Amino acid sequence: MIFIKDLFRPSSTNEVNFLVEKYAKYENEYQKKLFFDSLCAALKVEEIEDMLQQIMFENLEVKKVSDRHLTIKKILR
């Protein structure tokens, strides 16, 4: 099995700010900035799907599994 879990980039800065407030509310400003920057630097689900098609990985499932995480998985046989 191949299994990858990562952040995905939200569709707007407002969404990023909402997630930072929701999950890092009690963290220091540096940690909030790191989380904000990580969300902004992440790829969108569609970008990952396009990338996987270009490198010819087939039958991989790319799926949003939370408000900030995605998974990529494939069962090898």
Over residues 29-50, the pLDDT tens digits come to 999 999 999 999 999 999 998 9
What residues does each domain of the chain span? Answer: 2-74
Put the strands of the sheet holding 61-64 in their side by side order: 2-7, 69-74, 61-64
User: 12-28 pLDDT, tens per residue?
Assistant: 999 999 999 999 999 99
SS3 content of the chain, % helix, strand, coil (to 5): 45, 20, 35
pLDDT of residue 60: 86
pLDDT of residue 39: 98
Q: Please determine, for residue 3, whether its predicted confidence score (pLDDT) is greater than 80.
A: yes
Q: Note the residue count of the chain.
A: 77
pLDDT of residue 75: 72
